[in-house]
Amino acid sequence: MLQLSKFPFKTLKSAPKVSDNRSTSLLLQWGYIRQAMAWAYEFLPIGQRVLSNIEQIIREEMDRAGYHEMLMTILTPREYWETTNRWEIPEYFKVPGWGNTEYRIAPTNEENVTPILWEFIQSYKDLPTCVYHIQKKFRNEKRAKSWLLRGREFIMKDAYSFHASIEDFDAFYADVKQVYMRVFERLGLWDDTVIADADGGAISDKNSHEFQTYLEVGEDIIVSDSSGYCYNLELACGVPDNKNIDETEQAMEYIDSTAEIVNMEKMTKYFDAPSWQMLKTVVYKLDTSWRFIAVAIRWDLDINEIKLRKFIAAQYDDTFTLANESDLENLGTVRGFISPLKESNLDIECFWDESLRTVKNFFGWANTVAKSTKNVNLSDLAISEFWDFSEPKQGFTSLNVEGEKLTFKKASEVGNIFHLGTKYSKPFGLSYLDENNKMQDQVEMWCYGIGVSRLMWVMAEYFMTEKWIGWPEDIAPASYYIIVMWEDNLQIARKIASDLESSWETVILDDRMGRKDGFGQKAGDCELWGVPNRIVISPKTLEQWGYELLKRGEESKIIKIS
């Protein structure tokens, strides 16, 4: 049991203001965590208890499914990362060893687990298999924030499965989803958690599946409709809202403007027109072929660079960077006044965003400083074809349900599933003997993550009330909080605590005695820590030959002491 008379950690009288979310401040105030430095937190005993309970539920469900727990190293050899061509990723920390030796601090464990399983996967009978571990991770996150949601140091559950084929994985994946659903159900989150498609990022060149819990302070936006379509905003698609589609096209005119109208606010004011009627064109340079392409889009929309990256990879097998001032000058245009006018004959292959289908009589540019155009229409532009480059926004309709507006909700990612394919198994030479005794080198890999420390923050935010965090009973730092008044009653309190622990309950015994440790202080700490069952032992309860038991959501009652 945790005896508070021997506990040096105290709650604070007020919540420190450290971030834009209240739950982090409360976790600091209530003694769950302390900030070691920007983007890194230490878990105090109360926080560690909650964290361990989350871990235990994940572990129980993974073990129940027949997956195998292991523990991999945090420092990994440079040669592993060079094998997969990932040594130079800037978001992944490197550290020096003796001499010229260098290591990577593990941000993820594909490079660890694949050579381990190379030794043990010999036959088709060894497939499929799945291993997992729970470990701290370190990443030099560009978007790191000074709270538990996205830090440079965090705790993850990583799992990796190995398969002889994609078909072999399909049945396996259904089981994994059930495991995750059971985890989030036991954590009390499943009713507000969805499975969304998202970008695979640096881990996979395929889409990933994210388990996203709806939260008002979530860092992601999930786009969905009633058909079951559910995507992270970074990959979401929709039908742009129609604009002046019935307006009569007018003849394009060149007009004088000023050099300063290079942002939307100044443009809309200068031209006295809505931002959707402005034409925005962005030029990109392909990294390998050095050719230039451009994307034209409504000014009120943003180009989604993840969609653009996938488009350029599929169309040109290339990557891209934004064209610089010198590039634009050589092409015969200038930043802020780019326009793919047919009359300009720019040596750029330009693509239209789908949003342009329904707009007429644009305001645009003329590839010269302070020169603009009005009544620009698609027939005036040298553009190859339509494509979906935009990030959808409120007002877009569903691609699947005619006329239905897309729903946008904030959420926080709590789990993910990536298809790795043979991205790691091929470089490490993973192979096996098939049923015909022939060697096969096509081993499909998938990985599955759950952010353990992130989950603690999500759950704190999700279950937070005005006064406390209503942790589910299996997650709370203890199942019972015993308040004992007067030293003469300590022996009885310890006996009750021991009886509870013999029944596999966890107990916090508030045996603090002193002027500052009255009932109000003790009851307050019980509430702050979200312990679901409170026992009070006092002269008043003992007069009734028992103790007071208050279960969350119920009326208190006196339990006779046997």
Q: What are the respective helix, strand and coil percentages of the chain, to the nearest 5?
A: 30, 30, 45
pTM of the model: 0.85
CA distance 196 to 45: 34
Helices 452-462 and 45-64: crossing angle in degrees, nearest 10, is: 110
What torsion, rounded to 10 degrees, do the Cα atoms 170, 172, 176, 177 define? 30
C-beta of residue 203 within 8 angstroms of C-beta of residue 447: yes
CA 268, 271, 273, 276 torsion: positive or negative?
negative
CA distance 513 to 145: 40
Residue 106's identity, in one-letter code, is A
C-beta of residue 407 within 8 angstroms of C-beta of residue 223: yes
3-state class of 511 per DSSP?
A: coil
CB neighbourhood size of 156 (10 A): 20
Q: Which two tokens stand for residue 97?
A: 């060893």
pLDDT given at position 92: 86
pLDDT given at position 204: 46
Give the closest residue to 292 by CA, choosing from 248, 329, 250, 264: 329
Q: What is the 3-state secondary structure (H, E, C) of 185-240?
A: HHCCCHHHEEEEEECCCCCCCCCEEEEEEECCCCCEEEEECCCCCEEECCCCCCEC
Planar angle of CA 296, 255, 328, nearest 5 degrees: 45
pLDDT given at position 201: 54
Going from the first residue of the chain to its last (562 residues), give the mean pLDDT of each consecutive group of 10, the final group possibly shorter. 91 75 83 82 93 97 97 94 91 88 92 96 95 90 54 88 90 90 96 86 61 92 94 91 88 87 76 89 92 93 91 92 93 90 91 90 90 91 90 93 95 91 94 95 94 92 86 94 91 93 94 85 89 94 92 91 81
C-beta of residue 298 within 8 angstroms of C-beta of residue 322: no
Buried b / exposed e over 442-463, threshold 16 CB at 10 Å, is bbbbbbbbbbbbbbbbbbbbbb
Q: Which two tokens stand for residue 222?
A: 């999930």
CB neighbourhood size of 503 (10 A): 7
CA distance 27 to 16: 10
Q: Which two tokens stand for residue 50?
A: 């909650």
pLDDT given at position 36: 82
Strand order in the sheet with 557-560: 2-3, 507-510, 480-484, 533-537, 546-551, 557-560
Mind listing the domains of the chain with CATH numbers?
51-236+409-461 (3.30.930.10), 253-387 (3.90.960.10), 480-560 (3.40.50.800)
3-state class of 450 per DSSP?
A: strand
Radius of gyration of the chain (CA): 30
Question: Phi/psi at 143 (nearest 5 deg)?
Answer: -100, 20
pLDDT given at position 442: 92
**How far does the chain reach from its first CA to its final CA, in angstroms?**
21
CA distance 364 to 374: 6
pLDDT given at position 436: 94
pLDDT given at position 262: 65
Q: Is 405 exposed, middle or buried (0-12, 13-18, 19+ CB in 10 A)?
A: middle
Question: Phi/psi at 107 (nearest 5 deg)?
Answer: -95, -15
DSSP element (H, E) containing 399 = none
pLDDT given at position 443: 95
Q: Which two tokens stand for residue 509?
A: 């015994």
